Amino acid sequence: MTIDISTLGDCALITLNRPEKLNALSFAILAELDAALTEVDKRPVRALVITGAGEKAFCAGADIDELRGRTLVEQKSSAEFGQAVFERLSNLRIVSIACINGYAFGGGLELALACTFRIATAHARMALPEIKLGLIPGYGGTQRLPRLIGEGRATELILTGRTIGVQEAERIGLVNRIVDGDAVEAAIAFAGEFTAHSLVALQLARSAVARALDLPVNQGLKVEADLSTLAYQTRDAEEGMAAFLEKRKPEFRDE
C-alpha cells in the first residue's frame, strides 16, 4: 500500500507514502485514496489531515509515465475518476486540511485545493505546471483555484505554470497558514480550533459558503436563511445557547 491511514486524537491522518517518487499520484494511488476516504468516513474522527511522506514533497503531481500512449476514452475516464475522488474529499462530512510539507505540483496542488484548508511549511513550493507539458490541469485545478484566489491570479498561475513559495501563497490566499516545526502536529493543532464545535453546524456553515460561490447574493442569502433556520433546530444549537447563558462550555453531541 502506498497510502497510510492512522488516527491522532480527533483527527484521521492520510499519508501519501511514495517518497521515492515524491508521492506522485499514480492511478493506483488515486484508487487507494478513494478507499481511504471510505475508511475515514467510518471512523469517529472530527477532521482529516492529508500529508506526504518524506521531507521533499507533499505530492509532486501525476505519474507522467502513466499518461502517455492512452486512448481518448482512457484519458477522459482517468480525468473524471481523479475529479470524482477529489470532489468526494471536498464534500467529506468533516473538515480536511492539506499539510503541504514540500512540493505540491499539478495533481498534488489539486489534491490540496480539494481540502477545506491548506497549511504549508516554509520550504513548500506550489505550481500547476501542466502548461509546460502542453497540457492543462485535469483534476479540478482550473475550477477550484479561481474560486480560491480569484480569476486573474489563477489564470496567471495556470498559463505560466510558474512555481510560487509559501509567502506568496499565503499572500494570495492559497494557503491559510505557514507553520514551523512538525507540520503534522501543526495541522492537528489547527484542526483543534474547530473540532470542538458541532459537526452539524460546521457542515451547514461549509455548505452555505460553498453555495455562495455559485449563486447571486440574493439567492445565496435565501440559502443562508434556510440553513441558519435548520441550525436553530438542532440539539447542539439549544445546548450552545444554554451554555452561553449559563456561562459554561457547551457539550456538543453532533445532533
DSSP state of 116: S
Q: How far apart are CA 73 and CA 70, in angstroms?
A: 8
* Selected catalytic residue, list 20, 66, 80, 130: 130
Given a contact cutoff of 8 angstroms between Cβ atoms, the answer to whether 126 and 164 are in contact is yes
SS3 41: helix
Q: Is 110 a catalytic residue?
A: yes
DSSP state of 194: T
The CB-side HSE value for 244 (13 A sphere, CA atoms) comes to: 6
Task: Tell me how many degrees the CA angle 54-112-8 measures, rounded to the nearest 5.
Answer: 60
Helix extents (H) in 57-140: 72-90, 107-114
* Selected catalytic residue, list 39, 66, 110, 239: 110
Q: Is 130 a catalytic residue?
A: yes
Catalytic residues: 110, 130
